[in-house]
Structure 1
Amino acid sequence: MPILLDHQLQEQIPHDISAFPIAFYCDELAALPDHAGPIHWHPYFEIATAQSGVLDYQVGQTHTILEPGDSIFVNQNVLHGIRQLSGAEPDHLPIIVFSATVVAPENSSVYQKYIQPILACNSLPFVVFRHDSSLWKEVHRWIRATYHAIREHSDCYELEVQRNISCILEAVFRNFDSLPKSEASRVQLNAQIRLQKMLSYIYKNYDQTVTLTDIADAANISRSEAGRCFQSFLGCSPVEALIQYRLQTAQRLLRETTLTLQEISFACGFHSVNYFSRQFRKRYGYSPGEKRQRK
């Protein structure tokens, strides 16, 4: 199941998640350029586990290294992305994205007492469950059991998943006070909101002529402040982020469509096929035509 983003960088969870509010993803990195997923957000919790490779999981401005067997719990509405650093093959990286309503309704005392404190805590954007930590031994077992239950769809799997998620959230709640916190300043929170607005503009308008001024105006800030936001979170300029997204989109179109190179070039906001080809080769080390032959 591919990761799909809307214009607000919000991950598009399958429509039937309302019936059972949890989605499962696996093998996403294999289809992503450089085995790196785009920065995005969603109003759900997320749990992911490194299987065979070493991964860089970015949450906000923090980069956390996950070794094989490590898992990460990401709080809702936080910008995050993933990049594989090493490993012979793309990591399978099982991921569950879920609403806490899988455990209890939002207006229930269970939700308000045990879940609301977690999702409302700006200083707890994520929790890492290290594979060699005795504290999280049971959590790892519940995570693995959840992946297996969703994959197999065995009898009563929804009840097993609900039970496991409840246990995981209970473990986070019980250890809440001792978990490492990273208190975000007002400046950092504002920077993240501004970045979300600017990235949203890029994702919506990448196929049009977009200038640095256009991107900065999306967040009502100066061009220099826009540059600082992108450097702080993504390590690149706003225009570089625009080009990267255009090239990622071109990769997908080359793989999934029969559009000509000229059609793909224009569809991705490049108004010169030669410039598109040069940028593509510079980014990936091979031409768009060679990429199409590889698919």
Structure 2
Amino acid sequence: MAKTKHDLMKDASEIVHYDTAGIPLYVKSDVLSEYPGMRAICHWHDDLEFIRIRKGEMYYRVNSQTILLKEGDCLIVNSRQLHYGYSRGQKECLFLCILVHPLFFSGNITLYERYIRPFTESDGTGFLYFPHGAQYPGMDTQDVSSDISRLLEKAAALRNGGQPGYELEIVGLMHILLGRLISLGLLVPDPDTGYGISRPDPDSAAQRAMVSFLYQNYSGRITLDEIAAAGHVSRSKCCRIFQKYLHQSPVDFLNSYRLEVSRRLLSETSLSVTETATSCGFSHLSYFSKLFGECYGCTPKEYRKRQ
């Protein structure tokens, strides 16, 4: 089975392949095991991301915060936030992912400026988390996650049906969803209640800059001083930020990304194993093979044969 991959720009932003060219909408039923190591690459994009857990559970990291998402939970990741999902104990997770660009809601500039832009440009709202069954003020009949789930699943059904004009119906559903959250005071959460709110993250800009630097320069020799300089922080602060956001050292994160790139090269090019290792910044073939085996459970040559 082909593995799911994220195509990234050099600044770590994802190149989102929308369902229809010119319409900033992406709807996919996803399976965590389709990702290498059951883990997505850390990335960001301008789109709002809507996640619904259909079966199982997984961890979701947004900036420096980790959320354990369980069946029925919903998560909205704000625009331009570093994020990725990964398995809990290598367990499977089935989930729905919908990406919608904020400009999707800009048909009326007054409504966009009043309701959407304050959310997407909010420093303190990296994500909104809606646990299954949680009750909120103003919701007497059902929990918010069930309401969101119903709208997201209807959008997925429309996408799968593929009838002419389905995009317009999804546009309507997403407006209803955000309108519902706005009416409940949840789109830009109230700090006094704490519903759905995430903490402001002062180190997010530095982390994004350092990750972008690694994505741009992974093929060459990189020092810790250079990584820290990219984020305008000290070496020790650099290491603390990587642990805070990614639970990895800068070097371990760099090697993880190099291995992901090498996996793609082995699958999609005719480069030799040695050429692949060199292209990904590994100066010693034995070290590359060792790390590759630890990550993917086979040698680079064996991996290529399986593709």
Aligned residues: 289
Within the alignment, does 1:281 sit opposite 2:299 as a pair? no
Post-superposition Cα deviations, 1:76-130, rounded to whole Å, max 9, x if no partner, equal 11111100225764x343311112322333x611112221232232222212233
Distance 1:147 1:16 in 2: 12
C-alpha separation between the residues in 2 aligned to 1:81 and 1:126? 12
Match of 1:244 among 256, 277, 301: 256
- SS of 1:196's equivalent in the other structure is helix
Structure 1 counterpart of 2:56, from 36, 53, 56: 53
Conserved 8 A contact 2:63-2:83: yes
Change (3 A) 1:183 1:276: closer
CA distance in 2, matches of 1:236, 1:290: 27
2:251 pairs with 1:230: no
Contact 1:249 1:268 in 2 (8 A): yes
User: What does residue 111 of structure 1 align with?
Assistant: 112
Q: In structure 2, do the counterparts of structure 1 residues 286 and 16 end up closer, same or farther at CA, with 3 Å as the change threshold?
A: closer
Contact (CA 8 Å) 2:54, 2:95: kept in 1 or not?
Answer: yes
Distance change in 2, residues 1:3/1:271 (3 Å): same
SS at match of 1:95: strand
Partner of 1:181: 197
Amino acid at match of 1:147: A
The 1:150–1:115 alpha-carbon spacing in structure 2 relative to 1, beyond 3 Å, is: same
Equivalent residue, structure 2, for 1:196: 208
Contact 2:44 2:80 in 1 (8 A): yes
Asked if structure 1 preserves the Cα contact closer than 8 Å seen for 2:59 and 2:86, the reply is yes
The alpha-carbon distance between structure 1 residues 28 and 257, as it changes in their structure 2 partners (threshold 3 A), is farther
Q: Which residue of 2 aligns with 1:255?
A: 267
Distance in 2 (alpha carbons) for counterparts of 1:69 and 1:82: 16
Residues 121-140 of structure 1: pairs in structure 2 closer than 5 A: 121-133=122-134, 134-136=142-144, 137-140=146-149
CA contact (8 A) 2:129 2:196 kept: no
For the 8 Å contact 1:53–1:86, the answer to whether it is kept is no
Change (3 A) 1:17 1:221: farther
Task: Point out the structure with the larger helix share.
Answer: 1
CA distance in 1 between counterparts of 2:104 and 2:52 reads: 20
2:138 aligned residue = none
Deviation of residue 43 (structure 1)? 1.4
Give the TM-score, by structure 2 length: 0.86
Moved more, 242-251 or 120-129: 120-129
Cα drift, residue 199 of structure 1: 0.7
Q: TM-score, normalised by structure 1?
A: 0.89
Structure 2 partner of 1:171:
180
- Residue 29 of structure 1 contacts residue 92 of structure 1 at CA under 8 Å; is this kept in 2? yes
Distance 1:17 1:224, change over 3 A: farther
Q: Which runs of 5+ in 2 are unaligned?
A: 135-141
Query: 1:32-47 residue pairs with structure 2 within 5 A?
Result: 32-47=35-50
Q: What 5-or-longer segments of structure 1 have no aligned partner?
A: none
